[in-house]
Amino acid sequence: MIRMRRVTKVYKGNVYALEDVTVDIERGEFAFLVGPSGSGKSTFIKLLIKEEEPTGGQIYIADTNINQLRKWKVPYLRRKIGCVFQDFKLLPHKTVYQNVAYAMEVTGKSHRIAEQQVPEVLKLVGLGHKLESFPDELSGGEQQRVAIARAFINRPPILLADEPTGNVDPSLADGVVRLLEKINDSGTTVIMATHDKQIVNTFRKRVIAMENGRIIRDQDRGVYGYE
Amino acid sequence: MNKITYFASETWASLRKNLILAVAAIAVVAVSLGILALVVMGWNMFSNMIKSAERKVGEIDVYLSDLTMEEERQAIEAYLVSIPEVDPLQVTYKDKETALQEFKERFKDQPELWEYLTENPLPNSYELSTKDPKDVGVVVGEISNNAPYRERIEDIKSASGAIEKLENIFDKFRQIGIIGVIALAIISILLVSVTIQVAIFARRREIGIMKLVGATNWFIRWPFLLEGVFEGLLGSIVAILVSWAVKVWILDKLIDNLQFLRLSLSSSLLWVLFPCMIVGGIIIGALGSAYALGRFLEV
Ligand SMILES: Nc1ncnc2c1ncn2[C@@H]1O[C@H](COP(=O)(O)OP(=O)(O)O)[C@@H](O)[C@H]1O
Ligand SMILES: [Mg+2]
C-alpha cells in the first residue's frame, strides 16, 4: 500500500527531518510511528499527502509514484487518505454534522448522500446524539472523534493520524485509538504517529521507531521502547 | 444546483464579512465605469453636433457666380479634381435649386427664413473634401490663387477654426477620459483583489481544511472568483443607474435648453453602452479575484 524508498527531507536551514527512510506498510496494517518530538513523524505524514515534497527518494502509494503526481491530481490523492491531527482542524462555526458533511460536499457528493451517511458514521464514532453541537461544546476526545468521522466519511483506503491523542484527556485517549482500530478492522490501513508510550504499549501493534529522521527500529507487536 | 447554492451561500457569507471593503471596491468599479459612460455619452453628443455642423473639418465649399458659363464650370471642375490634396471622388456639384431645397429642409421649423423669397439667393457650388483635413488651408490658398476663371469664384468656405479647435479639445477630452478610465479600471481591479485577499485570509483555516479533505483547486477558488465577479457586477449596475440618471436629468435637459448647439444623444448608444458596462464590471471583478487567487492562494 505504502512504500518509501530512501526518502530524505531537508528543510530550509539544512534541517534533516527525514534521512534515508525505507519502509513498506501493507494494505490493512495498523502501524504506530513513534519517536521523540522532532524525530520526523509529522514530516513522514506530510510527505504522504504531498503537503511537503521529498528532497530525495521515492514514495509509492498503491503502486503510484506520488513524486510524479501532477499537481491537479493531488486532491484526488488526498481523497484516498483520511487525516487526523492533534489540533482536530474542525471548523468552529459549523456543527458536528456540517463538519463531517463538508468533506463529502468538497468531493462533489450530493446532500442526499450526506444526509444518509453522515449520521451513520457519527453513530459509529459514538456521537450519534451530538449532530447539532458545535466543536467548542465538545470535549477534546469528542472533537477528535468528529475529526475521525470526517476522515473516514469517504471510506479512504488509508488513514493517517498525527498525534491524535495529544489534546485528548488521557482517560479518553484509549477510546480514540480503539476507534482507529475499529476503522482498521474494516480494512483501512492506519498509521498513527505518537509519542504516547502508554498507548503504544497497550495496543501492541507494529511499531516504527524514529530518531533524528531515521528509522531505528521496526517491529511487529512492538513496544514504545525509549527511556 | 447543489453546487450553485453552495457557492452562492459561501459568496454571500464572505461578502457580508468584509462589507466595508466590498462596498469600497464596488464604489470604485462604479466610478470607473460611470466615467467611461460619461466619456462615451459626451463623445457621442459632440460627434453628433459636429456631424450636424454646416461644414465638417476637411470640407470646402466653392461658390460660383451665376454668370459662370457651362464650359467655364467644366474647366473649374477639372481643375478642382486635379488638385493633389483633394480627394477626387469627393468633389460634388450642387446647383442652386438643390441648395435651396436643402436649406428649406434644414430650416423647416423656421419657415419665416424662406417663405417670402421671390428668387433663389443661393449660388451654385462645389463641395469638396481634402484627403487629409489638415490640408484645408493649403487647398483654399491654392484655389484662390490658381483657379481658372478666378473671377467666377465668388467665395471659398471651409470649416471654421472654431469647429477645428473644438474637435481638438474633444480629442484631448477623449484621450484623457480613456486614460482615466484605464487607470481607474486598474485601481478597481486592485481594490477588488484586496477584498478577495482579505476574504482568503479570513478563511485560510477553512481553505487548509478543504485541501486536506481533497477539495480541488477550482472548488476552492470558485467562491472567491464569484465574490469578485459579483462586486464588479454590482459596481456596473450602480454605474448604469447613475449614468441613466445623468442622462435623464442633465444631458436631456441640456439638449432641450441648448437647441442652437444641435446637441443630441444617439438613442441606440445606451443599448450598446450599458451591456458593455456590465461586461466590463464582470471582467474587472474576475481579473481582480484572479489576481488575488494567483498571488495568495497556494493550491
Ligand atoms: N516547515 C519546516 N521548516 C523547517 N524545519 C522544519 C519544518 N517542519 C519541521 N521542521 C523540523 O524538522 C524536524 C522534524 O520535525 P517533525 O517532522 O515535525 O517531527 P515530529 O513530528 O516527530 O515532532 C524538526 O527538527 C523540525 O524542527
Ligand atoms: Mg509532529
Q: 3-class secondary structure for chain B? A: CHHHHHHHHHHHHHHHHCHHHHHHHHHHHHHHHHHHHHHHHHHHHHHHHHHHCCCCCCEEEEEECCCCCHHHHHHHHHHHHHCCCEEEEEEEEECHHHHHHHHHHHCCCCHHHCCCCCCCCCCCEEEEEECCHHHHHHHHHHHHHHCCCHHHEEEEEECCHHHHHHHHHHHHHHHHHHHHHHHHHHHHHHHHHHHHHHHHHHCHHHHHHHHHCCCCHHHHHHHHHHHHHHHHHHHHHHHHHHHHHHHHHHHHHHHHHCHHHCCCCCHHHHHHHHHHHHHHHHHHHHHHHHHHHHHHCCC
- Please give the pLDDT value at position A19: 95
3-state secondary structure of A152: helix
Domains in chain A: boundaries = 2-88+157-219
> Cβ separation of B214 and A110 shorter than 8 Å?
no
Task: State pLDDT tens for residues B227-264.
Answer: 999 999 999 999 999 999 998 898 888 888 877 666 77
pLDDT surpassing 90 at residue A151: yes
Cβ-based neighbours of A124, under 8 Å, separated by 6 or more = A149, A152, A182
Pairwise CA distance, residues A127 & A58, whole Å:
39
Strands B59-64 and A64-65: unpaired
Q: Which three cell numbers mark B27?
A: 464604489
Pairwise CA distance, residues A176 & A168, whole Å:
9
Residues B145 and B223 placed together within one structural domain of the fold:
no
Higher pLDDT, B166 or A85: A85
Q: C-alpha distances in angstroms, B294 versus B15, B116, B269, B299?
A: 20, 76, 37, 9
- Please give the pLDDT value at position A131: 94
For an interface test with B, give the residue of A52, A66, A105 to mutate (most B CBs within 10 A).
Answer: A105
Q: Which three cell numbers mark A217?
A: 527500529
pLDDT (average), residues A97-111: 90
For cell 482517560, name the residue.
A171
For cell 481658372, name the residue.
B148
Q: Which residues line ligand 1 (CB under 6 A)?
A: A 11-12, 15, 17, 35, 37-43
Strands A30-34 and A206-211: parallel
Q: Which three cell numbers mark B196?
A: 478577495
Could you tell me the pLDDT band of residue A5, with boundaries at 50, 70 and 90?
A: very high
pLDDT surpassing 80 at residue B52: no
The number of beta carbons lying within 10 Å of the beta carbon of residue A156 is 20
pLDDT surpassing 80 at residue B51: no
- Among B123, B158, B193, the domain-final residue is B158
Higher pLDDT, A54 or B88: A54
Structural domain boundaries enclosing B227? 2-54+163-296
Residues B217 and B273 placed together within one structural domain of the fold:
yes
As a whole number, the mean pLDDT across chain B is 86
Residues B39 and B115 placed together within one structural domain of the fold:
no
- The CATH fold assigned to A2-88+157-219 is Rossmann fold (3.40.50)
Q: Which amino acid is at A122?
A: L
> Cβ separation of B213 and A72 shorter than 8 Å?
no
Q: What percent of chain B has pLDDT over 70?
A: 95
* Number of domains present in the structure of chain B: 2
Task: State pLDDT tens for residues B162-204.
Answer: 677 777 888 888 888 889 889 988 998 998 999 899 888 888 8
Could you tell me the pLDDT band of residue B299, with boundaries at 50, 70 and 90?
A: low
Q: Contact at 8 Å (CB) between A105 and B5?
A: no
Q: Is A136 exposed, middle or buried (0-12, 13-18, 19+ CB in 10 A)?
A: exposed
Pairwise CA distance, residues A69 & A67, whole Å:
6
Q: Contact at 8 Å (CB) between A121 and A199?
A: no
The number of beta carbons lying within 10 Å of the beta carbon of residue B281 is 30
Residues B259 and B218 placed together within one structural domain of the fold:
yes
Q: What percent of chain B has pLDDT over 90?
A: 22
Residues B83 and B29 placed together within one structural domain of the fold:
no
Pairwise CA distance, residues B205 & B299, whole Å:
13
DSSP annotation string for A156-197: -SEEEEESTTTTS-HHHHHHHHHHHHHHHHTT-EEEEEE--H
Listed residue (A86, A90, A89) closest to A196, CA to CA: A86
If you take atom 13 of ligand 1, which residue's CA is the nearest one? A17
Beta bridge partners of A85: A162
How close B203 gets to chain A, by Cα (Å)? 10
Put simply, whether B9 touches A (Cβ < 8 Å) is no
Q: C-alpha distances in angstroms, A69 versus A75, B166, B212, B244?
A: 11, 65, 16, 54
Residues B28 and B144 placed together within one structural domain of the fold:
no
- Among B158, B190, B221, the domain-final residue is B158
Pairwise CA distance, residues A132 & B229, whole Å:
34
- Please give the pLDDT value at position B160: 64
Say how many CB pairs under 8 Å bridge A and B.
Answer: 44
Residues B198 and B231 placed together within one structural domain of the fold:
yes
Could you tell me the pLDDT band of residue B54, with boundaries at 50, 70 and 90?
A: low
Residues B47 and B173 placed together within one structural domain of the fold:
yes
Put simply, whether B210 touches A (Cβ < 8 Å) is yes
DSSP state of A40: S
- Please give the pLDDT value at position B55: 66
Could you tell me the pLDDT band of residue B144, with boundaries at 50, 70 and 90?
A: confident
Q: Which three cell numbers mark B44?
A: 457621442
Q: Which three cell numbers mark B284?
A: 474587472
Pairwise CA distance, residues B261 & B275, whole Å:
29
Residues B124 and B16 placed together within one structural domain of the fold:
no
Q: Which atom of ligand 1 is nearest to the CA of A39?
A: 22
Q: Contact at 8 Å (CB) between B204 and B172?
A: no
Question: Which residues surround the ion ligand 2 when the cut-off is CB under 5 Å?
Answer: A 42
Pairwise CA distance, residues B113 & B123, whole Å:
17
- Please give the pLDDT value at position B48: 79
- The answer to ipTM > 0.90 is no
Is pTM beyond 0.90? Reply is no
Residues B117 and B202 placed together within one structural domain of the fold:
no
Residues B178 and B225 placed together within one structural domain of the fold:
yes
Q: What are phi and psi of A95, to 5 degrees?
A: -75, 170
Residues B113 and B242 placed together within one structural domain of the fold:
no
- Among B128, B158, B188, the domain-final residue is B158
